[in-house]
Every structure is written in C-alpha cells, then in structure tokens.
Chain A
Amino acid sequence: MKTLTRREALAAGAAAAAFAASGLPAFATADAAQEAVMAFTGGVAPGEGGVTLTTPEIAENGGTVPVEVAAEGAAAILVLAAGNPSPGVATFHFGPLGVAMASTRIRLARTQDVIAVAKMSDGSFRQASNTVKVTIGGCGG
C-alpha cells in the first residue's frame, strides 16, 4: 500500500471527487479528443489498422510514459491523451524518404486511452488506441 501523507490524501481525494463529478472517469475529455481527431482528419472518421502504437499497459510513472508510434507510409501522426485536461500531445510530420516512426514521453493524469491517428500519403486516415493505466500501486506480491 502507498502511504498517503495528509497532503497527498487530500489531493487524491480531490481527484476522486473530480472523477465522480464527471461521471465518465476514464475519459473525462473524450469529446475534446474526438474534436481534435476530427480537426486533424477534416471530419473524416479514421480507419483501423496500419498504425502501431506501443505503450506500457500500466505506467511506471504517470509523469513520463514512453509512447512509440509507427505507420508505414504516413505523412503525419497525431498523438492524443484522451483523459488529460488537454488531450493534444504531439503531431509528427514525416518526409517521403523517412521511416514514419517516432517516440516520445508523455504525462498522463490518470488511466486513459492514448490515441494515434496517422495521415497516410494517399490522404486517408488510420487510428490506433491503447489504454494506459495509471495506478497508485504498491500491493503486488
């Protein structure tokens, strides 16, 4: 178990209260993420497949979560953290000769979906999404 100091306990309690108020704990800003996807695609719903998104299942440290995206033939890849207060993370642009692959580290406020949308060179869009769990931990054994 994690020991909660008074300050942390209050913070955790506050986060929990925010949780409850939203009614949609894991995807509090899902609409914002959806809007960002639509802005990137120009309103086209992306297809599945063709995008490899690599994330840990459970974040070791929510403050710096490694994320890797790859999509063969992509001109650009948008990465979103759907449950962060602001979902936008990064957009990677690739030249025609490069390998469309990028990695970065992102901060995740809580358990949520990380979404990658690739703009392919033919103008179509592809999407992949993984759930990354952010946990208080400490009870395995």
Chain B
Amino acid sequence: MFSRREFAHAIAAAGALIGPLSGRGLAQGLSGMTEEALIGGPAGGNVSLIHVTDMHAQLMPVWFREPSINLGVGAAAGQPPHVTGEDFLRLYGIEPRSPMAYALSSADFAALARDYGRMGGMDRIATVVKRLRAERPDAILLDGGDTWQGSLTALRTNGQDMVDAMNLLGVDAMTSHWEFTLGIDRVTEIVDALPFPFLGANIYDAEWDEPAYEPYKLFERGGVQVAVIGQAFPYLPIANPRWMFPNLSFGVREERMAEVVEEVRAEGASVVVLLSHNGFDVDRKLASRVPGIDVILCGHTHDALPEPLMVGDTALIASGSNGKFLSRVDIDADASGVKALRHRLIPIFADVIAPDPEMAALVAGHRAPFAAELSEVLGETEALLYRRGNFNGTFDDLILQALMTERDAEIALSPGFRWGPSLLPGDRITKEDLYNATAMSYPAAYRSEMTGETLHVILEDVADNLFNPDPYYQQGGDMVRVGGMGYRIDVSAPMGSRITDMTHLASGEPIDPARSYTVAGWASVNEGTDGPPIWDVVEAHIRSVGSVTLQENDSVKVTGA
C-alpha cells in the first residue's frame, strides 16, 4: 500500500525536481516536474492493473474543478470521498496550492489552473499507458465506463471516436453506463466489433431474467489467474431512458455478485478485481457484504482519491473522471492470493506528460471533420464555469438561465450530471465547450406546466436518490439543479420531509402547491419529449448575452450535514 507519508513525499519530490522548461509551453508552476516523477518507480509485484474511468469522451486536455460540496449520509458521512477542500488536503497530507491540491480539490481552482495547466488528454494518457507497459507489457488496462458519451465528436460519431481511441490504447475489458444511451442497436454494433469483453455481471435480459453480457474475464498474469468482474451502473433504466435499451434489466444484484466471485475463485482466480460502475458508496457497502473481492476499481461518482480506501481486505480505488487521472495498481500475488498491493493515482498534467504521437494523430483525425464547429466562439465567460457540487454548479446556473430566458419559463430544472469540464474566468466559450457540458442522446429542452406539489415531489424524489442513508438506494448523480426557485433541504431527514421553504425567487412568494408553474428542463427520460436540443437553447442565450456573468447562487439552504 502506498502510505499517506510516501504519497506526500513523492509529490514533494516531484515539486522539488529541477529541470529545463520544455518547448511545449510548460505551465509555470510545474517547471521541473517530469513524467517519471508522476508515473512513479518500477512496477512491483507480478500483476499490474491500469484503471481509467468516466472519461466522458474527453479526448483533449481540460480544466476540471472537483466539488467543494459532496455530502455523505449514513455510514458514509464525513468519510472519503465525502471530504472536500482543505479537509481533503489535510486528510491526505497534501500541501495547499501544490499540483496535487489543484488536481484533487477545489480551493483556489481558477488561480491554480493558470499555474498548473489543463489535465487529461487521450494522447497524454496513451504516453503513460505505454510507459507502464514498457515496464510490464502484460499490465491489464481496464475501462470503468462512461467513455463513449460527453463531447461533440462523440455525439456526431455515435461514440466511434472514443471506441477507436480506446482500442488503440489497448483496453483489456470495460464496463458501462452512458454507453447504453447510444441505444441498444448501436451498443450491440460496437460490442460485436470490440477486441475485448464488455463486462456486466448485473446486466440481465429483462424478459427471461438471464445474463445478457459476459460477467467476467480471466487473465493469466505473472503466474496467477486474475479475474476481472464487470458491474454496470445498477440504475440505468431509471436514471437514463429505459426505452433506449428496453430489454435490459440491471440492479445492484448483490447475491449475483457473490455467486460470480465464488465462481471465479472456483475457477482458480488468485486475484479478484471488480471493475465497477456502482458508485463509491455502493461499492463500499458491497465490499462489506460480498467476501472475496481483492480490488474494486470504482467509477460513476467521479471521485479521485490518492490512496485506496480499505473495507476489510478489499481495496477501493477511485480514479477520478474526464481523463484527469489514471490509476496504476501493482499487486504481488501467488496461488494463495494477494500478498501486497501498491496504488498510485497518476495525475495527467497535460503540460508535463508528452503527447503520444500515434494517439494524437488518431484524435486529430476524428476532430478534423468538425474543426470549424469545435472552434466556433459563442461568447466568453467572466465567471468560473464548473458543474460538480451536490446542489448547484455555475455551468448549470448558466444552463438554467438559458432555459428560463429562451423558453420563457418561471422555473427551470437541469439534471445533476457530474460530467462536463470547467471554464476559467476570461475564457472564450466555444461550441466544443458547450457540447462538453450538454452532448447526449436525449437533449430535448421541454416546456411544461407543473404544480408546486409536483415540483415538491420531484425534489424529494431526487433528494432521496442522493441522500438515502442506504447506498443501495442511491443513484449517484447530484441534486437536480433548480432555477427561479429556492428551497431548504435537510439531508438527514427521511424521504418526503427533506425539502421545505420552496420559494418562487422572482416574487419572493412561497411556492403554492396548488398553483401551476411554467417549467423548462432537459434530458427527460420519457420517450417523445418535445423541444429544441439544449445546446441550441444555451447557444442562443450565450450569443445574446455575449459575456456570461453570474451572481452567487445561494438559493439552496442546506441543513442536516
């Protein structure tokens, strides 16, 4: 295990290294940091895993601000990943304002971003993967899903840009979530051509209640059998449109997982890895109830943790999102099982890690047909635009304003998605930036009438998806963003009584349960929703305001945390 002290030491050493500035416009704060220092020492043990997850089709380096509010409830209250800001830095012994503080937390984000530059980029990730495989050619590269959705090019190519990039990267197995929002026909077309298995032990045929995808894959590595079990997002037909994959059923299916673990152990697996899209708190509970899993590579909730969180003998590893990080896990195992495990969360500092030319060429090839669109400037932002946070994010504030203005609505609703990179104050907003926050396959911006009572039911329902004390009832997104209406939420109250003091902001009046309000929103899971795509709505708004300014959003009052 990479201890807290070792981790802090490695980062300090990386910061202290002195070297010449490269010619690639190295971000000032990173001078002296090297690829070698980021990647770490030689591979230990005899089995290596490489984990990427929740890339959301981000082929290019991005700004991505981590959340400042990420509340845990029940047993997870105050536990990682529900620790943010300075508390997070203290917990893991990370120097404030250091490169890793910038990468992993939200404090001083805009200022530190200028010092340390963008993160991620598929060509940089490819460089790291190649370096790791130079040391250990048979390292197992695992993709936790949410890979094929989230950008203009992924939208236009139905995920083909990401499929081609991941194939070149050399993925050995993947699991899934947003992949299914391409529709089952397209998923089947891609999966049939993938050179690696698309795993999902919890994906069932809804009619016959039989497994629909391969549950696991066995790899012989370093003289032992390594089982990789896949677990897709359990609540796909609820959180995303069921009509897009009508014959599939998901769910946590804890008993099924226990059976599969027993099965792979019986087949001789010495190392059992769960490649999971459950979400961190679901994985924490699963690890406490299903014996025999050595490593859970967590996904879905977009958490990045610099060291594993141990639940009994199971190491939970959270590798972030949007291409910001990659985890390497070196394991020493023999026939009797795992002897030692060392994890390193590698931050993909785009100005330190050299682009891999082969991957850079593939990415450029996929972007070329859309070059004019991608670079089209719609306006600029004076505000830091970001999405992560339990209750609101400034990019969502912008989307809500656009919905209310362009769709002439009293109240706007925007889903609590966790994908979508950030923009810094002074940045131009390009069409690429807008699509990074909105690109998906059910974008219709509806306009509807809802009573105050209905709005309350919706808020309570979503709040329970986030704050139910039993993780198996959580869906892993954030609270629905609300424009034009404020409310108070007691996150520790039971469902039905968390949301109070709903207020119509324009009039200052309490929301009347019986009155009908005009509501605009997007990303409805209902088939046949009418309305223009959300990116057209937001583009029109940005063009009309020219420069985006936002007031501080204090319309949600939080208690019980």
Stretch at the interface among A53-61, A89-97, A115-123: A53-61
- Least CB distance, B200 to chain A, in whole angstroms: 15
Is B480 an interface position by the 8 A CB rule? yes
Residues of B within 8 A of A19 (CB): 496
Residues of B within 8 A of A58 (CB): 235, 238, 251, 473, 475
Q: How far is the CA of A5 from the CA of B449 in the complex (A)?
A: 7
Q: How far is the CA of A9 from the CA of B517 in the complex (A)?
A: 11
Contacts A3-B446, A135-B461 given; does A54 touch B255 at CB 8 Å: yes
Q: How far is the CA of A9 from the CA of B518 in the complex (A)?
A: 12
The B-contacting residues of A in range 24-83, CB under 8 angstroms, are: 25-26, 54, 56-58, 60-61, 66
Is B1 an interface position by the 8 A CB rule? no
Annotate A103-141 by CB proximity to B: 1 below 8 A, 0 otherwise. Answer: 100000001000000000000000000010101111111
- Least CB distance, B165 to chain A, in whole angstroms: 22
Interface residues of B: mostly helix, strand, loop or mixed? mixed
Residues of B within 8 A of A56 (CB): 251
Stretch at the interface among B188-196, B260-268, B413-421: B413-421
Instruction: Using CB atoms, name the residue of chain B closest to A59.
Output: B238
- Least CB distance, B516 to chain A, in whole angstroms: 8
> How many residues of chain B are within 8 Å of chain A by beta carbon?
54
Residues of A within 8 A of B464 (CB): 133, 135
A139 touches B453 (CB 8 A): no
Instruction: Using CB atoms, name the residue of chain B closest to A57.
Output: B472
B457 touches A16 (CB 8 A): yes
A141 touches B415 (CB 8 A): yes
- Least CB distance, A4 to chain B, in whole angstroms: 6
Stretch at the interface among B86-94, B134-142, B308-316, B521-529: B521-529
A140 touches B457 (CB 8 A): no
User: Which of B413, B473, B522 touches A57 (beta carbons < 8 Å)?
Assistant: B473
Q: How far is the CA of A89 from the CA of B130 in the complex (A)?
A: 58
- Least CB distance, A120 to chain B, in whole angstroms: 22
Annotate B449-462 by CB proximity to A: 1 below 8 A, 0 otherwise. Answer: 11101101110011
B238 touches A60 (CB 8 A): yes
A2 touches B453 (CB 8 A): no
Annotate A1-22 by CB proximity to B: 1 below 8 A, 0 otherwise. Answer: 1111110011011011101000
Residues of B within 8 A of A57 (CB): 234, 251-252, 470, 472-473
B521 touches A16 (CB 8 A): no
Q: How far is the CA of A19 from the CA of B70 in the complex (A)?
A: 30
User: Which of B240, B242, B418, B523 touches A1 (beta carbons < 8 Å)?
Assistant: B523
Residues of A within 8 A of B250 (CB): 60
Is B448 an interface position by the 8 A CB rule? yes
- Least CB distance, B512 to chain A, in whole angstroms: 12
B457 touches A12 (CB 8 A): yes
Residues of A within 8 A of B242 (CB): 60-61
A13 touches B251 (CB 8 A): no
Residues of A within 8 A of B454 (CB): 4, 9, 12-13, 16
User: Which of A6, A13, A26, A139 touches B239 (beta carbons < 8 Å)?
Assistant: A139
B249 touches A60 (CB 8 A): yes
Annotate B421-461 by CB proximity to A: 1 below 8 A, 0 otherwise. Answer: 00000000000000000000000001011110110111001
Contacts A1-B415, A57-B473 given; does A137 touch B525 at CB 8 Å: yes
B450 touches A4 (CB 8 A): yes
Contacts A137-B525, A138-B523 given; does A1 touch B238 at CB 8 Å: no
Instruction: Using CB atoms, name the residue of chain A closest to B206.
Output: A60
A60 touches B237 (CB 8 A): yes
The A-contacting residues of B in range 99-125, CB under 8 angstroms, are: none
- Least CB distance, A5 to chain B, in whole angstroms: 7
The A-contacting residues of B in range 360-408, CB under 8 angstroms, are: none
- Least CB distance, A58 to chain B, in whole angstroms: 6
Q: How far is the CA of A16 from the CA of B489 in the complex (A)?
A: 19
User: Which of B209, B234, B458 touches A136 (beta carbons < 8 Å)?
Assistant: B458
Instruction: Using CB atoms, name the residue of chain A closest to B523.
Output: A1
Q: How far is the CA of A69 from the CA of B526 in the complex (A)?
A: 32
B238 touches A135 (CB 8 A): yes
Is B476 an interface position by the 8 A CB rule? yes
Contacts A1-B415, A135-B464 given; does A66 touch B209 at CB 8 Å: yes
Residues of A within 8 A of B523 (CB): 1, 138
Residues of A within 8 A of B327 (CB): none
A9 touches B238 (CB 8 A): no
Is B31 an interface position by the 8 A CB rule? no
Residues of A within 8 A of B58 (CB): none
- Least CB distance, B390 to chain A, in whole angstroms: 12
Contacts A6-B449, A139-B465, A140-B239 given; does A1 touch B458 at CB 8 Å: yes
Residues of A within 8 A of B415 (CB): 1, 138-141
Instruction: Using CB atoms, name the residue of chain A closest to B442.
Output: A138
The 8 closest A-B pairs by CB, nearest first: A140-B239, A141-B417, A3-B524, A137-B238, A138-B525, A140-B475, A60-B237, A140-B477
5 contacts between A and B (CB under 8 A): A3-B448, A26-B496, A58-B251, A135-B465, A141-B416
Given A1-B415, A140-B475, 6 further pairs, Cβ under 8 A:
A1-B458, A3-B526, A9-B449, A57-B234, A138-B240, A140-B415
